């Protein structure tokens, strides 16, 4: 079984009423309750996880058919929503708690808009036999973030020289 790792932070919060309802779910559908714990551990701040049935089976220690039944029980109990990704339903987004936002009018084609943690398994990749070998690096787009970018002619030199090893990180151009 793959060890669970919190995406960011170490807490998942639920209220007391939810704990009581979750306890009843554990009595009625233990595997559904266990899968809900697995999903809750991986949702990060967006309350959604994207994964295939085989990956959910692998990370939960259940069979694929048990995962399917557990998901059906969670949907029926209004614990999660399932949003299909692609036409075949082999990969879905499992949304906990929040309702998804629709971006188009009701009569138009609707698209679900949410962020999610995506769990991929090496076994499901077409190039799985080469994943352990060095891969050609991808082209990276430059990130601007909080880096200082020099622009313009710059300021005149300071009256006091910089201390050794404490040179300014903004070059001046004149």
List the chain pLDDT tens, one digit each, 174 residues: 455 554 455 666 777 888 888 899 999 999 999 999 998 888 766 678 899 999 999 999 999 999 999 999 999 998 988 888 876 767 888 888 654 444 455 555 555 556 777 877 787 777 778 878 887 776 666 555 555 566 667 677 666 666 777 766 666 555
- Predicted confidence at residue 100, as pLDDT, reads 41
Predicted local confidence at residue 58, as pLDDT: 92
* Residue reference for tokens 């559908």: 29
Q: Is the pTM of this model over 0.75?
A: no
Does a structural domain hold residue 21?
no
Look at the chain and report how many structural domains it folds into. 1
Residue 5 domain-assigned? no
Domain membership of residue 12 (yes or no) is no
Does a structural domain hold residue 13? no
pLDDT at site 48: 83
Residue of 11, 32, 12 lying closest to 22 (CA atoms)? 32
Whichever domain contains 84, its CATH number is 1.10.10.10
- Examine residue 136 and state whether it is found in any structural domain, yes or no: no
Phi/psi of residue 17, nearest 5 degrees: -60, -40
Question: CA 47, CA 163: separation in Å to the nearest integer?
Answer: 50
pLDDT tens per residue across span 94-124 = 888 654 444 455 555 555 556 777 877 787 7
Angle between helical axes of 64-76 and 30-42 (0-180°, round to 10): 90
Residue 168's SS3 state is: coil
Domain that holds residue 39: 26-122
* Residue 42 belongs to a domain: yes
Cα 123–chain centre separation? 19
Cα end-to-end distance, the chain, whole Å? 61
Residue 131 forms part of a structural domain = no
The answer to whether residue 156 is domain-embedded is no
């Amino acid at each position: 079984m793959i060890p669970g790792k919190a995406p960011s932070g170490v807490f998942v919060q639920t209220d007391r009423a939810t704990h009581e309802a979750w306890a009843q779910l554990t009595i009625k559908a233990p595997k559904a309750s266990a899968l809900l714990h697995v999903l809750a551990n991986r949702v990060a701040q967006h309350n959604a996880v994207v994964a295939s049935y085989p990956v959910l089976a692998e990370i939960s220690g259940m069979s694929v058919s048990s995962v399917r039944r557990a998901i059906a029980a969670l949907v029926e109990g209004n614990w999660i929503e399932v949003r299909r990704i692609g036409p075949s339903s082999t990969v879905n987004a499992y949304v906990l708690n929040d309702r998804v936002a629709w971006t188009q009018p009701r009569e138009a084609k609707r698209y679900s808009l949410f962020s999610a943690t995506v769990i991929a398994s090496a076994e499901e990749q077409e190039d799985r036999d080469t994943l352990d070998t060095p891969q050609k690096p991808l082209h990276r787009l430059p990130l601007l973030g909080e880096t200082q970018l020099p622009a313009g002619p710059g300021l005149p030199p300071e009256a006091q020289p910089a201390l050794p090893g404490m040179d300014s990180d903004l070059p001046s151009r004149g």
